[in-house]
Amino acid sequence: MFDEKIYRRFNHTVAACFVIYFLFPQKIMGLERIYLVILLWIIILGIEYLRLNKNLNLFGMRDYESDRVAGFVWFASGTFIILGFYEMGAFPQSLAVATIIMAAYTDPVIGEVNHKLGDRWGLGIGFVCSFAIYQLIVGVIFYSVLGGLIAVLVERPKLKWFDDDLAMQILPISILSILWLSGIGPDLPETIIESGL
């Protein structure tokens, strides 16, 4: 039997690879690339439907997830919402890339640090982690500090119908994008990845 906790952490960090979407050509087999995301979302929702109805047994699920939507569905939903809004022009690409990678790494980092050093350290190191990712990708201190703060603050409340895997993506990118679009926040590099493999 594998270690379930390690398996969950690895699943979480691998989710950062969703950013490969930005390398895809705009059209795949004549269809807009966003349809690929919708298809994947339907598959994930189908798997979750089977799991919740006890027709499918997935390894690595937490006990409390037996009768509620699992973390992987929340995370995928958050990422797919980001990609959808990016295609509509609501979110700049740089923030979308940074937020997806940040959420994939920061949540397990906070979980591990909380477990080993305590909650305060979890908040602090979680902030450093998310700040560093925003700074490396977006490169604007204003967005890095704010994005890092929002990410660690929304990770804390544990709500049944609004998981932190979703909140850690949607809230930081929404607030940062509103600040950027309204002109309150400083300018940022809008596109950092050119599409086309």
Partner 1 sequence: MKITEFYIYAMYLVVIITSMLFIVKDYYIIGSLLILGNLVPGYAMANSLMGNNEN
Contact footprint for partner 1 (CB under 8 A): 1-3, 6-7, 9-14, 16-17, 19-20, 23, 59-60, 97, 101, 104-105, 108, 133, 136-137, 192-194, 197
Q: What DSSP designation does 159 have? A: B
What is each CA distance from 114 to 55, 72, 172, in whole angstroms?
34, 21, 21
Sequence-distant (≥ 6) Cβ neighbours of residue 79 within 8 angstroms:
15, 18, 100, 103, 169
The distance of closest approach from Cβ of residue 15 to partner 1 in the complex, given in angstroms and rounded to an integer, is 10
In the complex, least distance from residue 9 CB atom to partner 1, rounded to whole angstroms: 4
Task: Indicate the residue among 157 and 196 with the shorter CB distance to partner 1.
Answer: 196
Give the closest residue to 16 by CA, choosing from 110, 114, 96. Answer: 96
Query: CA distances (Å), 132 to each of 67, 160, 168, in order?
Result: 36, 29, 16
CA distance 175 to 148: 12
Least distance in angstroms from the C-beta of 118 to partner 1: 20
Secondary structure percentages of the chain, helix, strand, coil, to 5: 70, 5, 25
Tell me the closest approach of the beta carbon of residue 197 to partner 1, in angstroms. Answer: 7
Residue closer to partner 1 by CB (options 128, 179) is 128
Distance, CA of 165 to CA of 154 (rounded, Å): 10
3-state secondary structure of 162: strand
**Smallest distance from partner 1 to CB 132, Å:** 9
